[in-house]
Amino acid sequence: MSSPAVAALPADPFRRSPWPRVAMVALVIYVIYACAQLEVSWARVEIGLENAGRFFARLFPPNFSRWELLVKGLQESLQIAVLASTLGIVLALPIGLCAARNLMPSWATWPARFIIVSARSFHPVIVAILFVKAVGFGALAGILALTLASIGFIGKLFTEAIEEISDKEVEAIRATGASFASVLAFGVLPQVFSRFIGFATYQLDSNLRNSTMVGIVGAGGVGGTLFAAFQRFDYDYVCAILISIITLIMIGEVLATGVRAIFIGNATLSDVFRRGGAHRREMHLEDD
């Protein structure tokens, strides 16, 4: 098996497929086509930039004179976020568990998966509009919309986390004669708990952001105030609202990291203020 075989060796040691290149070319062509269709041209961009310049000039200085209304809106947003997250997590846990194919029979996983997929199908704004129509204007619609979004998000990630656990640990607990509920308590939950805390705090974070937005469609919170200010061209007040929202989100971030630090123990409160804190947070979300 020496010199004669060498001649027969293929020149290219890799298997190559033409498809990635074909896909790349197709994408470039489509981008050009879409720009032409939507009449996105350099001239259009210039008009837009000019307009943007005037708009941003009017944002400053921010006007905090109507702060009472602002604080009331923020309070409502915060309440919507906390209530929706709590309710969403409580409901997502059993649904997510039922959807895990490695623990549950298919008659349980299919309905649970259907609920999760349905909850994820629509953007929270669309769901909020539906609930505003169904239960009327106000915070209740916002809470229900974000609860549904939380069920979708936490349910899906929780299911995936459970499906990725090590069977060995579960097998060992089963071998002791433990009942299903005890297997969950000692074999399953310890493996997914820290990841679950990661999802839950991330969802709280995300609900805080979304709760400032559902108000735009009349589902409560500071979003309604923001939308009204936009319509009255009160851009300095808009700026004040935006700054307040950023502050709220940052406070939420600190709290979320605090919660993780308590439960997981590998993130501390000071992480938020350190460089790379956000990056570490993402890593926790993925790896814990």
Partner 1 sequence: MLTLKHLSKSYVAGTPVLTDVNLDIDARGITAIIGASGTGKSTLIRCINLLVEPTAGEILFEGADLARLSGKALRRARRHIGMVFQEYNLVERLSVMENLLSGRLGYVSAWRAWRRKFPPDDIRRAYELLDVVGLTGFANQRADALSGGQRQRVGIARAVMQEPTLLLADEPTSSLDPKTSVEIMELLTEVGRSRGIPVLVNMHDVELARRFADRIIGMGDGRIVFDGPAAALDDATLTTIYGGKGWLH
Report, in Å, the least distance between residue 170 CB and partner 1: 9
Smallest gap from Cβ 264 to partner 1, in A, equals: 11
Q: Is 190 in the site for partner 1 (CB under 8 A)?
A: yes
Contact status: 283 vs partner 1 (CB under 8 A)? no
- Say whether residue 187 binds partner 1 (CB under 8 A): yes
228 binds partner 1 (CB under 8 A): no
Nearer to partner 1, 186 or 227 (CB): 186
Distance, in Å, from the CA atom of 234 to the CA atom of 55, rounded to the nearest integer, reads: 11
Burial of 146 (0-12, 13-18, 19+ CB in 10 A): buried
Name residue 145's amino acid.
A
For 198, residues 6+ apart whose C-beta sits below 8 A from its C-beta are 260, 264, 284, 285, 288
In the block, residue with structure tokens 């959807």: 99
Q: Is 191 in the site for partner 1 (CB under 8 A)?
A: yes
Tokens of 83: 């209530």
CB 279 within 8 A of CB 286: no
Say how many residues touch partner 1, by CB under 8 A.
22
Answer yes or no: are the C-beta atoms of 261 and 198 closer than 8 Å.
no
Q: DSSP class of residue 278?
A: H
- For residue 1, what are its two tokens? 């098996």
| Closer of 195 and 281 to partner 1 (Cβ) | 195
Per CB under 8 A, 73 contacts partner 1: no
Nearer to partner 1, 113 or 284 (CB): 284
* CB-based contacts of 156, cutoff 8 Å, min separation 6: 96, 116, 120
Distance CA 251, CA 69 (A): 20
CB closer to partner 1 out of 54 and 168 = 168
Residues 127-186 that bind partner 1 (CB under 8 A): 166, 168-169, 171-179, 181-183, 185-186
Confirm or reject binding of residue 265 to partner 1 (CB under 8 A).
no
CB of 177 vs partner 1, minimal distance in Å: 3
- Give the shortest CB-186-to-partner 1 separation in angstroms: 5
Residue 164 in tokens: 């990725």
The binding site for partner 1 (CB under 8 A) comprises 166, 168-169, 171-179, 181-183, 185-187, 190-191, 193-194
